[in-house]
Amino acid sequence: MDCLREIEGKQAHDPIFIEKMNKSSPRCICVPGPVIVGAGPSGLATAACLKERGIPSILLERSNCIASLWQLKTYDRLRLHLPKQFCELPLMGFPSEFPTYPSKQQFVDYLEAYAKRFEIRPRFNETVSQAEYDATIRFWRVKTTVGGQKCGVEEMEYLCRWLVVATGENAEAVVPEIEGSDEFGGDIRHTSLYKSGEEFRGKRVLVVGCGNSGMEVCLDLCNHDAMPSLVVRDTVHVLPQEMLGKSTFGLSMWLLKWLPMRLVDKLLLVVSWLMLGDTARFGLDRPLLGPLQLKNLSGKTPVLDAGTLAKIKSGHIRVFPGIKRLKRYAVEFVNGRCEDFDAIILATGYRSNVPSWLKESEMFSRKDGLPRRPFPNGWKGESGLYSVGFTKRGLLGVAMDAKRIAQDIESCWKAKAPFARSLLLPHSTSP
Ligand SMILES: Cc1cc2nc3c(=O)[nH]c(=O)nc-3n(C[C@H](O)[C@H](O)[C@H](O)COP(=O)(O)OP(=O)(O)OC[C@H]3O[C@@H](n4cnc5c(N)ncnc54)[C@H](O)[C@@H]3O)c2cc1C
């Protein structure tokens, strides 16, 4: 460490080194603080926590706005699934006048206000195409493509000591291959492109996938007088959104302070049974493991029912097993039944895109693009690499990661401050 400081001290005063770092290419920028990839809630929270500690950062975002998942890829009726107190980013709460479950627009407004308050100005339309640690100079090399079709594509390179991966668990839509997709005559689209049931009024729509999104899209379709059906291939835990006058999530967190998880799961299932009845009767079999244990082990989130189950019970939403193949305007299911449909919505989830751009395989699994080490230890890797928002614990996990990362970087930042400050450039968000 002393040796490193000595080298850095020398480098800080070595004009040739600084010249090489900053001007080896006109499109190469040497960044004194961390580079954060992704300006969703995770990237914003990390930038704010760093700023609070006086550390400037650069935030790179592929789209043209903050929180692009929320602004561009979600349906109109979306509200936070969890009460607002579990979805706050660090250092700034939700406005008190917001409802318990803020709407998508309210959440976006909150994030805009957050970015404004901490003066976070991401570099938009800049997609990180590759990031790799260069052991010879002990910096991360982060390559980006800037702009798009209209303004042409330019390439940039950032050199930084700390790299924060904040590209999210939901970076790319998962679109399954279904036999006969080419043959199907109607619209097939992922939920990331679904906005409202309005355009499906009067249509027979098959929703594939029974997570929170699939269930809510079905309800939205019902509310717009479409005729939705739901494909349920796996077992699923459906819980009421509220129990005994409290949010189910909040109640679970509170019970976990006193009781073991298995017992809390049992209580949740008893109350769910009393409130919702036996969901297996409607084609929604429950997994063998309880909802919290399952979430803990596999990350699979229970569905918090916002009214869909009542529509299934009343027959407004029909439930089908897995799809065998698609035909011109019909779907054949694995049980041999064949039904007519006008459109198919794929509520088949998302995946991380980290393996496509991060040239590293110690911290992140190349298989699923998530940190290999389980929660709560997945946030820190080697050589100044960090991850935020990959805990499968939503915004609560985001806040925890962001605070830890800022704290950790601060300790190195102080040690390396003279060197880092010598590289300060106007591109960074100044503290
Ligand atoms: C429909 C839906 C509802 C949800 N509801 C809740 C909820 O109620 N409560 C909760 O806690 N969680 C909820 N979640 C989980 C949600 O993912 C998180 O709350 C939150 O959006 C995660 O923030 P993030 O910044 O980690 O990821 P994201 O919001 O996905 O942001 C990642 C950003 O990185 C950018 N990016 C990706 N790749 C690159 C690249 N190569 N270069 C540059 N930029 C890149 C993306 O464009 C994006 O803007 C919900 C998710 C969905 C899909």
| C-alpha of residue 282 to centroid of ligand 1, in Å | 32
My answer on whether 40 and 135 are in the same domain is yes
Tens of pLDDT along 68-123?
999 999 999 999 999 999 999 999 999 999 999 999 999 999 999 999 999 999 99
Tens of pLDDT along 149-196?
566 679 999 999 999 999 999 999 999 999 999 999 999 999 999 999
- Residue 149's pLDDT is 56
CA distance 144 to 298: 33
My answer on whether 307 and 377 are in the same domain is no
Over residues 56-72, mean pLDDT: 98
Evaluate if residue 416 carries a pLDDT over 80: no
- Residue 423's pLDDT is 58
CB contact burial 280-301 (16+ within 10 A = b; e otherwise): eebbbebeebbbbebbbeeebb
| C-alpha of residue 39 to centroid of ligand 1, in Å | 9
| Torsion angle of the four alpha carbons 322, 204, 173, 101, in this order, in degrees rounded to the nearest 10 | -110
| C-alpha of residue 37 to centroid of ligand 1, in Å | 12
My answer on whether 19 and 77 are in the same domain is yes
| C-alpha of residue 74 to centroid of ligand 1, in Å | 11
The two structure tokens encoding residue 292: 């919290």
Q: From the CA of 395, give the closest atom in ligand 1.
A: 11
| Structural domain ending residue among the three candidates 319, 346, 373 | 346
| Structural domain ending residue among the three candidates 346, 361, 387 | 346
pTM to 2 decimal places: 0.91
My answer on whether 98 and 224 are in the same domain is no
| Structural domain ending residue among the three candidates 280, 312, 346 | 346
- Residue 147's pLDDT is 83
My answer on whether 76 and 133 are in the same domain is yes
Q: From the CA of 65, give the closest atom in ligand 1.
A: 49
Tens of pLDDT along 325-377?
999 999 999 999 999 999 999 999 999 999 999 999 899 999 999 999 988 99
Question: What's the total number of domains in the chain?
Answer: 2
CA distance 120 to 55: 12
Confidence of residue 21 (pLDDT cuts 50, 70, 90): low
CATH code assigned at 37: 3.50.50.60
My answer on whether 19 and 109 are in the same domain is yes
My answer on whether 156 and 81 are in the same domain is yes
My answer on whether 181 and 261 are in the same domain is yes
CB-based pocket (< 6 A), ligand 1: 37-43, 60-63, 67-69, 74, 78, 80-82, 87, 127-128, 166-171, 213, 353, 357, 389, 394-395, 398
My answer on whether 101 and 250 are in the same domain is no
CA distance 252 to 243: 10
Compute CA 256 distance to the chain's CA centroid, rounded to the nearest angstrom: 25
Q: From the CA of 80, give the closest atom in ligand 1.
A: 8
What percent of the chain stands above pLDDT 70?
89
| Domain extent at residue 407 | 3-171+352-429
Over residues 287-296, mean pLDDT: 96
My answer on whether 162 and 112 are in the same domain is yes
My answer on whether 379 and 402 are in the same domain is yes
| C-alpha of residue 65 to centroid of ligand 1, in Å | 13
Cβ atoms 75, 52 nearer than 8 A: no
My answer on whether 338 and 425 are in the same domain is no
